[in-house]
Structure 1
Amino acid sequence: MAQLQKRKPARMELSPRVAQAPPRTTPSGGPVKRRTASPFGAMNRTKVPARLEPNKGSEAEARRSPRGKDKTKPKEKREGFHALKMQRALAPIGYGHRSAVKSKIQHLDSFEQFPLLDLVKESIASQAFPGLEDVAPTPVQRLALPALLGADHKDGRAKSPPVSSQMEQFLLAAETGSGKTLAYLLPVIDAIKRAEMMEANAEAQEKAQKKATEELRKNESDIFGLEPPPMIGPHPTAGRPRAIILVPTAELVDQVASLAKAFSHTVKYRAAPISAAYTGKVIRNRLFSPGGIDMLVSTPHLLASIAESEPNVLSRVSHLVIDEADSLLDRSFSPLTSAIIDKSTPSLRQLIMCSATIPRSLDSYLRKRFPDIKRLVTPNLHAIPRRVQLGVVEVEKDPYRGNKDLACAETIWTIGKSAEEHGGSEDGSAKEKADTKHIIVFVNEREKAAEVAQYLASKGIDAEALSRDTASLRQSPTLAAFTGTAHESNAASSATSATIVADRTLRGAPPRRTLPNTKVLVTTDLGSRGIDTLAVRHVILYDVPHTTIDFIHRLGRTGRMGRRGRGIVLVGKNDRKDIVKEVREGMFKGQALI
């Protein structure tokens, strides 16, 4: 150990090469490469390394490159959207195709021109449009009904059913509030009744054949050849619906089922809605009713869980409708929806996908999974109707000074106090004064929904929040005021206002001024998908939407079924003003936001 310690140099002893400069060449004669990976590798340098210098191309390349352009020439103004290209999420559709579709459907102006059963035609005016005399189909109905019914456009008659058992695939895409639900519901109802008629004829022939056989055996006095009496059991269609309609939320289940059950009163078929809003006993009784079931409206999560334990639920489905396909075929819903499609494919005759927008993700999914799908696209797809006006409120200016809550409350008070009349129809011929104004405020975060609703309530406004955090028992009554009839909305608004005043009186607080003739719903995108908000005339975008798709769905809550509407965007300091400007220009010109 002593000898080893003697060989070890002292701590303060310098190296004999300390005064020598580093070698400039390697033993082979080449230059020594300096280490640049270390933190001190770029110190004491006077020249820019060659690897960091910009590439200097030829003069011809400089002329071709944007940097080599002559700055003296005036810049050419490019047409189209520029800010919206950063949010490009919609599949492009040519205007030539839109014009061709418009000329194709212009001669269809009555439901009598479609090859529907007489009983179904008679029920349209009484069940779908009660109280209206002159009923005409919308563009999406003119386009979808002949295709889904297999009608020939030349003579208007229905084609014979195809010999092959391959299912028909349709993509029904139309703007919000254009009547897509009725467009796919009428062909499904017609198919159910035609299937019933065919089964009834086959059953009658079978009974007649059995009766003839029994009479023949009686004549031969063969008592041992008689068949036993039929056993009494459940209906053969119990738990095996003919048609299934899939929607993303429980609110849409009730909305679509209400229209389907309205037609069942006159057309006579069995329709049932099931969702997480109902108890297990109610779901079991509706699905496995002794009288059977023809049409089922459900969500993918619930139906997929039922199909795992009861595979026969999908064994008889001939028509499958996927409403709001852009939502049901995204990352969250796609595995469940695809599994339902796969399990029902053996008996499926028609697959109908319905959506108000065609995102690029949905477009690529359909091209891979269903390359032969027939796309039924209306001329105004991806365009916000021109009857909807869009206003902008600058939150940073006086008197708000960046307070977006105050700007929202002041806008609602202005709408509530205004005495202007709005048209009940598109041309404004039937004028009516709104006793209760219904306003929807859209926010991006569900936590913000409750916060904004609480602030508006403190300012005397009847406001409620609707999000995923809202209890299921409160969701249906909250939406009823915005989708129900006028007298129900007025009663609900008066009751809520009276509750607010009584509550403040019991607490001993002085009565604050309230806005009794206005009802506000603060919600997220939960309320922007498929909800038929006919009573809504004003929509306030508290937050600027993230994508163009959200713009279309949120502003689509007003101006539905030919009515006028107004949208107001609250633009703050960090919001994209250029996007809002382009959306306004596109709405004014009637262009699609792509």
Structure 2
Amino acid sequence: MSFASLGLNAQLVQAINECGYTEPTPIQRQAIPLVLKGGDLLAGAQTGTGKTAGFGLPMLQRLSETKASALANGRAPVRALVLTPTRELAAQVEENLRAYAKHTDLRTLAMFGGVSINPQMKALGRKVDVVVATPGRLLDHVSQRSIDLSRVEMLVLDEADRMLDMGFIRDIRRILALLPKKRQNLLFSATFSNEIKALAEDLLHQPEHIEVAVRNATAETISQRFYGVDKNRKRALLSYLIGHHNWRQVLVFTRTKHGANRLAMQLDKDGLPAMAIHGDKSQGARTRALSQFKDGQLRVLVATDIAARGIDISELPHVVNYELPHVAEDYVHRIGRTGRAGSTGEALSLICHEEKPLLKAIEKLIKQSAELEILSGFEPGPEEVQPATKPPANNRGRGNGGGRGRAPTAANNKAPRSNKPNRPQRHGRHDG
């Protein structure tokens, strides 16, 4: 099946051919014809299924088929609004939409916090057809009267479950109150909690309902492995796995921002170029880290759950849960960063004794049993610090540029000074 056979016009087909898309994914095959019809849509789709093109391509086609009337001040109105939970996802979605709209006269704009609001306000003074925004920054623009949402024809809630998890429901309802009642609504969610169902009932009018993956299921393209390890040997095991297997691109998850910073610094000392990405980092620092990771300057990107939402890297081979998430559903979201769009990927989890209850919750959710692997020298033990032991001798990783990274040794495998348990992050009203 081709994209043209789904009803897309020549300009869009040309653009997606230039993006390297060859044939539609399941979500695209189902969503594109339905969105083109103009009705509301409730879609269940895991991350990495190609849903941005699933809603973006037909949205751009519908906008290009009609002309908008100018506002009283002579400016063209914002005609489509895409809401996302994080800055990274907003930037990624807008980048994709801009590529799809390359051969049309439609203009897109990303709008999120962590950067100056002034360039966004300046851009809104020109023609902008599609705004991709995080809820908080969009409401900042509303309060400053720099954006008019009264002519929005299409609304997309992307990763709606994550937006609700992050406490954005009040902001979303405030935004909905500013939109015209007559519009097309598209809601995409990986999971369907009672809160999501309630939002869908309020938002959608006689929607089509599609679901392309089993709820809370992990993609079949992802190989999952679980390593039992002493809590104080996790970092040494991670360094060993990366170096021994010569992994070049690894996304690692921690529970806390402090933990992400500390782990990235330790990996860097092990000769594995690494950086952390989380909500306390400036947007510029987050963008630089992501860019260096994508182009291979960094071997390891250490991220918290919120910051990693929206990281879209084609053929990302390895995801590691350095610490298991407190919420089992977040495990599915984490490992969904690999094995995307038909590519294969590997997800590894490092499990210490105190994380066994979290692992049981994950097993129940994904309906799979996790068989713990044990590597010599990293065996799970009592909670007290074990003497450092050397990993196997052939664990040296090759650094960038052909040099060899330092293998983890007893000297640089010391446990962190603090053994305080990590606490779950509180999701406040902030964008990532």
Within the candidate set 521, 527, 552, 2:301 is matched to: 521
Q: Distance in 2 between matches of 1:281 and 1:176?
A: 32
Q: Distance in 2 between matches of 1:274 and 1:583?
A: 34
Q: Which amino acid aligns with 1:110?
A: S
Within the candidate set 332, 336, 339, 1:556 is matched to: 336
Secondary structure of the residue that 1:351 maps to in structure 2? strand
Percent same amino acid among aligned pairs?
26
Instruction: Extract unaligned runs of 5+ from structure 1.
Output: 1-108, 151-160, 162-167, 204-232, 418-436, 494-518, 589-594
Is 1:376–2:210 an aligned residue pair? Answer: yes
Do 2:42 and 2:200's aligned partners in 1 also have CA atoms closer than 8 Å? no
Cα shift readout 1:244-293 (whole Å, capped 9, x = no counterpart) = 1111222222211111222332122111222224423311111111xx22
Is 1:286–2:123 an aligned residue pair? Answer: yes
Report the more deviating stretch, 254-263 or 335-344.
Answer: 254-263
TM-score with structure 2 length normalisation?
0.78
Greater CA radius of gyration, 1 or 2? 1
Do 1:324 and 1:530's aligned partners in 2 also have CA atoms closer than 8 Å? no
Is 1:471–2:282 an aligned residue pair? Answer: yes
| C-alpha displacement of 1:464 | 0.9
Within the candidate set 103, 108, 111, 1:271 is matched to: 108
Q: 1:187 to 1:119 in 2, by over 3 A?
A: same
Within the candidate set 48, 63, 75, 1:236 is matched to: 75
Report the count of equivalent residues: 367
Secondary structure of the residue that 2:368 maps to in structure 1? helix
Do 1:176 and 1:356's aligned partners in 2 also have CA atoms closer than 8 Å? yes
Q: Distance in 2 between matches of 1:331 and 1:179?
A: 23
| C-alpha displacement of 1:579 | 4.2
Is 1:461–2:348 an aligned residue pair? Answer: no
What is the aligned partner in structure 2 of residue 173 from structure 1?
44
TM-score with structure 1 length normalisation?
0.58
Q: Which amino acid aligns with 1:562?
A: G
Do 2:124 and 2:146's aligned partners in 1 also have CA atoms closer than 8 Å? no
| C-alpha displacement of 1:335 | 0.8
Q: Distance in 1 between matches of 2:94 and 2:101?
A: 10
The structure whose residues are more often helix, as a share, is 1
Q: 1:380 to 1:457 in 2, by over 3 A?
A: same
Q: Which amino acid aligns with 1:384?
A: T
Q: Distance in 2 between matches of 1:278 and 1:329?
A: 23
CA RMSD across the alignment: 2.6
Q: Distance in 2 between matches of 1:587 and 1:572?
A: 17
Is 1:480–2:283 an aligned residue pair? Answer: no
Within the candidate set 64, 73, 79, 1:193 is matched to: 64
Q: Distance in 1 between matches of 2:102 and 2:210?
A: 30
Instruction: Report matched runs for 1:105-504 at 5 Å.
Output: 109-126=1-18, 128-129=19-20, 135-150=22-37, 168-196=39-67, 235-237=74-76, 240-289=77-126, 292-310=127-145, 313-330=148-165, 332-346=167-181, 348-367=182-201, 370=204, 372-396=206-230, 402-416=232-246, 437-482=248-293, 484=294, 489-490=295-296, 492-493=297-298
Cα shift readout 1:366-420 (whole Å, capped 9, x = no counterpart) = 3466574432211444321222111111113xxxx74222222222222327xxx
Secondary structure of the residue that 1:184 maps to in structure 2? helix
Cα shift readout 1:228-259 (whole Å, capped 9, x = no counterpart) = xxxxx96431xx21111111222222211111
Q: Distance in 2 between matches of 1:408 and 1:446?
A: 18
Cα shift readout 1:178-198 (whole Å, capped 9, x = no counterpart) = 1000000011101111112x8
Secondary structure of the residue that 2:136 maps to in structure 1? helix
Do 1:543 and 1:569's aligned partners in 2 also have CA atoms closer than 8 Å? yes
Do 2:315 and 2:339's aligned partners in 1 also have CA atoms closer than 8 Å? no
Cα shift readout 1:13-34 (whole Å, capped 9, x = no counterpart) = xxxxxxxxxxxxxxxxxxxxxx
Q: Distance in 2 between matches of 1:581 and 1:170?
A: 31
Q: Distance in 2 between matches of 1:581 and 1:366?
A: 29
| C-alpha displacement of 1:562 | 0.8
Q: Distance in 1 between matches of 2:290 and 2:224?
A: 24
What is the aligned partner in structure 2 of residue 157 from structure 1?
none
Secondary structure of the residue that 1:265 maps to in structure 2? coil
Do 2:223 and 2:345's aligned partners in 1 also have CA atoms closer than 8 Å? yes
Q: Distance in 1 between matches of 2:11 and 2:220?
A: 36
Do 1:390 and 1:584's aligned partners in 2 also have CA atoms closer than 8 Å? no
Q: Which amino acid aligns with 1:125?
A: N
Q: Which amino acid aligns with 1:366?
A: A
Do 1:383 and 1:587's aligned partners in 2 also have CA atoms closer than 8 Å? no
| C-alpha displacement of 1:549 | 1.3
**Bigger relative CO (Cα 8 Å, ≥ 6 apart):** 2
Q: Distance in 2 between matches of 1:583 and 1:315?
A: 42
| C-alpha displacement of 1:583 | 6.7
Q: 1:587 to 1:178 in 2, by over 3 A?
A: farther
Do 1:324 and 1:529's aligned partners in 2 also have CA atoms closer than 8 Å? no
What is the aligned partner in structure 2 of residue 158 from structure 1?
none
Secondary structure of the residue that 1:567 maps to in structure 2? strand
| C-alpha displacement of 1:469 | 1.8
Secondary structure of the residue that 2:78 maps to in structure 1? coil
| C-alpha displacement of 1:523 | 0.9
What is the aligned partner in structure 2 of residue 545 from structure 1?
325
Q: Which amino acid aligns with 2:49?
A: S
What is the aligned partner in structure 2 of residue 23 from structure 1?
none
Instruction: Extract unaligned runs of 5+ from structure 2.
Output: 371-432
Q: Distance in 2 between matches of 1:548 and 1:117?
A: 41
Q: Distance in 1 between matches of 2:315 and 2:27?
A: 22
Q: Distance in 2 between matches of 1:530 and 1:478?
A: 14
Cα shift readout 1:430-488 (whole Å, capped 9, x = no counterpart) = xxxxxxx1101111122211111122122221111111122222100111134x4xxxx
Q: Distance in 1 between matches of 2:92 and 2:369?
A: 29
Q: Distance in 1 between matches of 2:74 and 2:344?
A: 48
Q: Which amino acid aligns with 2:95?
A: S
Q: Distance in 1 between matches of 2:331 and 2:197?
A: 19
Q: Distance in 1 between matches of 2:130 and 2:326?
A: 37
Q: Distance in 2 between matches of 1:376 and 1:560?
A: 19
Q: Distance in 2 between matches of 1:402 and 1:250?
A: 33
Q: Distance in 1 between matches of 2:100 and 2:172?
A: 27
